[in-house]
């Protein structure tokens, strides 16, 4: 990694004829960032009028996300996501973000996650019972439905079965239109009655109607169910003792509602693909489940003994990190790797790139769950070569929830089933809000 200061720009790919590198990035985001990393640990790009810098060394990632985090705010992608999420935990900044995080944190206490874990297993067991030997399923959709039911029941004590199809369609719409939000001048385009805007607004209205209905029903009942929604409605600011408005509750609830199922669902979808391609690893997983669980369902108390299950999930999120890149905007000039990063510049740190870097990972393209036997997730995170949940003060508040959910769902389903990729099913990356499979994931299920 460079340490001397350079007055000139970092290396850069050849720009497109129009818009700098925007079209190249939009066509293949992960490929673009991998090519950037090939130019150096700091590389320059331009998206229309926006100047940007990609960083691909763990020390630089740590510098931006932790050491000098106060010099940066969320990048354009999440700033534009305010059109859907408002001022929720994912998009807010400064004092408001710290206030909201402090108020929400108790919902993810270890004791509460233990309560949530029973619902996680219950929903996964129910899905497992509906699967039939030899059935061909859209596993990406199955995982989305499963994690959607779980986040609704654990965090909001609600059932979304009646709304599941509407939510699924709205989520797909938002994901597909996310690139539209990143277009230069999309702030103005979004005010026009064009098809993209109308579809996005319809999806947002679907989410609003469901979330506001939950809020209204809970306020009218006055019942404290001990879940996140009750905590949001009763939480008071430490400074002025004020309660959240319905709009503030909606922003936080929707943020956690969407983030709490989309990422885990994608992680599990990629995990099933990797297991189907690596039968030796799959056999080791099943051997562990047979040894630890036998014929019974898993509980949170089993997690310390489900080490290989954890390794499988960790390795899946290394190869296919659901959050595949982190964007930050510089609010003041800063030096990175010897280059001056001017105020207003965008900095991208890609989990996908760092997780595949041969400098930090032996055989980085291979699925090797055993690599986690000699280096824990925590140790890799401390080295900043592995950061699927981000880092620093903006690290995902639901990380413990996600690990618990991912391990228990994988254990519950894999104790009975093996999944195999359907012949002709194409595999590709769709790096949007999260790293979704581009062509879906049709798989057949087979009794173990």
CA dihedral (63, 378, 30, 254) in degrees, to 10, reads -90
Which CATH number among 3.40.50.360, 1.10.630.10, 3.40.309.10, 3.40.1710.10 corresponds to the domain 22-447?
A: 1.10.630.10
End-to-end CA distance of the chain: 48
> Which helix H or strand E contains 378, and what residues bound it?
helix 377-382
pLDDT per residue of the chain (448 residues) written in tens, 0 to 9: 544 445 578 999 999 988 899 899 989 999 999 999 999 999 999 998 899 999 999 999 999 999 999 999 987 666 666 777 778 777 777 887 888 888 788 888 888 899 999 999 999 999 999 999 999 999 999 999 999 899 888 888 877 776 767 777 777 777 666 666 665 556 665 666 777 778 888 888 888 888 888 888 888 888 888 788 888 888 766 667 777 888 888 888 888 877 778 899 999 999 999 999 999 999 999 999 999 999 999 999 999 999 999 999 999 999 999 999 999 999 999 999 999 999 999 999 999 999 999 999 999 999 999 999 999 999 999 999 999 999 998 899 999 999 999 999 999 999 999 999 999 999 999 998 889 999 999 999 999 8
Find out whether 345 and 52 touch, Cβ atoms under 8 Å: yes
Q: Which bin fits 392, alpha (ψ -120 to 50), beta or left (φ > 0)?
A: left
Nearest CA to 116 among 314, 316, 400? 400
Contact by Cβ (8 Å): 404, 116: yes
- Between CA 425 and CA 305 the distance in angstroms is 35
- Per residue in 307-352, pLDDT tens? 999 999 999 999 999 999 999 999 999 999 999 999 999 999 999 9
Domain boundaries, the chain: 22-447
CA geometry: angle at 196 spanning 190 and 197, to 5°?
Answer: 35
Tokens matching residue 177: 């239109």
What is the spatial distance between Cα 176 and Cα 118, in angstroms, rounded to a whole number? Answer: 33
Sequence-ordered list of residues with C-beta below 8 angstroms from that of 240, at least 6 positions apart, any chain: none
Residues 6 or more apart whose CB falls under 8 angstroms from that of 15 comprise 21, 46
d(CA 249, CA 230): 10
Which residues, in sequence order, are CB contacts of 427 under 8 Å at separation 6+? 273, 421, 437, 438, 439
Q: What is the pLDDT of residues 236-287, one digit of tens each?
A: 666 677 778 888 888 888 888 777 788 999 999 999 999 999 999 999 999 9
> Coil, strand or helix: which one is 329?
strand
Q: Are 411 and 435 in contact (CB under 8 A)?
A: no
Q: Given phi > 0 = left and psi -120 to 50 = alpha, else beta, which region is 344?
A: left
Query: DSSP H helical segments within 183-306, as ranges?
Result: 186-189, 195-221, 228-234, 246-277, 279-293
- pLDDT at position 155: 82
Please name the helix (run of DSSP H) or strand (run of DSSP E) that holds residue 348, with its range, or none: strand 346-349
CA distance 261 to 152: 9
pTM above 0.85, yes or no: yes
From the number of C-beta atoms within 10 Å of its C-beta (0-12, 13-18, 19+), residue 273 rates as buried
Residues in the chain: 448
Q: Which residues contact 360 (CB under 8 A, 6 or more apart)?
A: 58, 354, 383, 385
The closest of 120, 13, 6, 50 to 347, measured between CA atoms, is 50
Cβ atoms within 10 Å, residue 376: 14
């Amino acid at each position: 990694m460079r340490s001397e200061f350079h007055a000139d720009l970092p290396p850069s790919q050849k720009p497109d004829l129009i818009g700098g590198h925007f079209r190249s990035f939009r066509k293949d985001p992960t490929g673009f960032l991998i090519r950037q990393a090939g130019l150096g640990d700091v590389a320059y790009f331009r998206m229309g009028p926006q100047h940007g810098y990609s960083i691909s060394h763990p020390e630089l990632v740590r510098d931006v996300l932790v050491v000098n985090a106060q010099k940066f705010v969320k990048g354009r992608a999440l700033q534009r996501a305010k059109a859907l999420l408002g001022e929720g935990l994912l998009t807010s900044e400064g004092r408001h973000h710290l206030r909201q995080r402090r108020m929400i944190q108790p919902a993810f206490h270890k004791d509460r996650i233990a309560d949530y874990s029973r619902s996680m297993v219950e929903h996964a067991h129910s899905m497992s019972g509906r699967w039939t030997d030899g059935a061909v399923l859209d596993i990406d959709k199955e995982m989305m439905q499963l994690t959607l039911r779980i986040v609704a029941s654990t965090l909001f004590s609600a059932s979304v079965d009646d709304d599941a199809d509407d939510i699924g369609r709205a989520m797909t719409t938002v994901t597909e239109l996310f690139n539209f939000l990143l277009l230069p001048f999309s702030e103005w385009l979004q005010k026009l009655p064009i098809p993209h805007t109308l579809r996005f607004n319809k999806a947002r209205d679907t989410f609003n109607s469901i979330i506001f209905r939950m809020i209204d029903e809970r306020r009218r009942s006055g019942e404290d169910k001990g879940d996140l929604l009750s905590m949001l409605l009763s939480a008071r600011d430490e400074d002025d003792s004020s309660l959240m408005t319905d709009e503030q509750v909606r922003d936080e609830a929707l943020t956690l509602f969407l983030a709490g199922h989309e990422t885990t669902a994608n992680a599990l979808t990629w995990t099933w693909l990797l297991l189907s391609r690596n039968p030796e690893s799959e056999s080791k997983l099943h051997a562990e489940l047979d040894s630890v669980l036998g014929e019974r369902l898993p509980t949170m108390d089993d997690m310390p003994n489900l080490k290989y299950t954890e390794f499988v999930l960790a390795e899946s999120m290394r190869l296919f990190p659901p959050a595949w890149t982190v964007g930050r905007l510089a609010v003041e000039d800063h030096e990175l790797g010897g280059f001056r990063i001017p105020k207003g510049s965008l900095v991208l740190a890609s989990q996908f790139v760092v997780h595949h870097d041969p400098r930090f990972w032996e055989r980085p393209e291979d699925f090797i769950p055993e690599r986690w036997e000699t280096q824990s997730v925590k140790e890799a995170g401390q080295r900043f070569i592995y950061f699927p949940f981000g880092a620093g003060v903006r690290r995902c508040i639901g990380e413990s929830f996600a690990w618990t959910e991912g391990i228990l769902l994988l254990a519950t389903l894999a104790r009975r089933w093996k999944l195999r990729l359907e012949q002709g099913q194409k595999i590709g990356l769709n790096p949007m809000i999260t790293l979704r499979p581009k062509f879906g994931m049709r798989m057949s299920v087979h009794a173990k």
